[in-house]
Amino acid sequence: MKGLLGLIGQIAALNVTRTVARAKRSGIMIGISVLLFLTAYMFGLIALALRLARHHPPEVAALFVAGGALLLGLIVLVALMIWNRIEDRRARRRRLDMQANIAFGLSLLQSQPMLMAALAAGFAASLFGKKKDDDA
The full DSSP string for 58-77 is HHHHHHHHHHHHHHHHHHHH
Range of the domain at 112: 2-129
Q: Is residue 85 part of a domain?
A: yes
Q: 113: exposed, middle or buried (C-beta count within 10 Å: 0-12, 13-18, 19+)? A: exposed
Single out the residue of 101, 81, 71 nearest to residue 25, CA to CA.
81
User: Which among 45-54, 69-78, 120-129 has the top mean pLDDT?
Assistant: 69-78
Residues 44/64, Cβ–Cβ less than 8 Å? no
Who has greater pLDDT, 112 or 5?
Answer: 112
pTM over 0.85? The answer is no
Domain count, the chain: 1
Percent of the chain, pLDDT > 90?
23
Q: Is residue 135 part of a domain?
A: no
CA 71/CA 110 separation, integer angstroms: 58
The identity of residue 105, as a single letter, is: G
CA 7/CA 14 separation, integer angstroms: 11
CA 27/CA 24 separation, integer angstroms: 5
Q: What is the mean pLDDT of residues 123-130?
A: 77
pLDDT on residue 36? 92
Q: Is residue 136 part of a domain?
A: no
User: Which among 16-30, 55-69, 85-99 has the top mean pLDDT?
Assistant: 85-99
Q: What is the mean pLDDT of residues 31-38?
A: 92
Number of Cβ atoms within 10 Å of the Cβ of 103: 10
Q: Is residue 14 part of a domain?
A: yes
pLDDT mean across residues, the chain: 79
DSSP 56: S
Q: Is residue 61 part of a domain?
A: yes
Q: Is residue 54 part of a domain?
A: yes
Q: Tens digits of per-residue pLDDT, 64-106?
A: 667 777 888 899 999 999 999 999 999 999 988 888 888 887 7
Single out the residue of 69, 82, 1 nearest to residue 36, CA to CA.
69
Q: Is residue 23 part of a domain?
A: yes
Give 28's pLDDT tier (boundaries 50, 70, 90): very high
Residue 93's Cβ-side half-sphere holds a number of Cα atoms within 13 Å equal to 6
pLDDT on residue 41? 84
pLDDT on residue 133? 56
CA 8/CA 17 separation, integer angstroms: 14
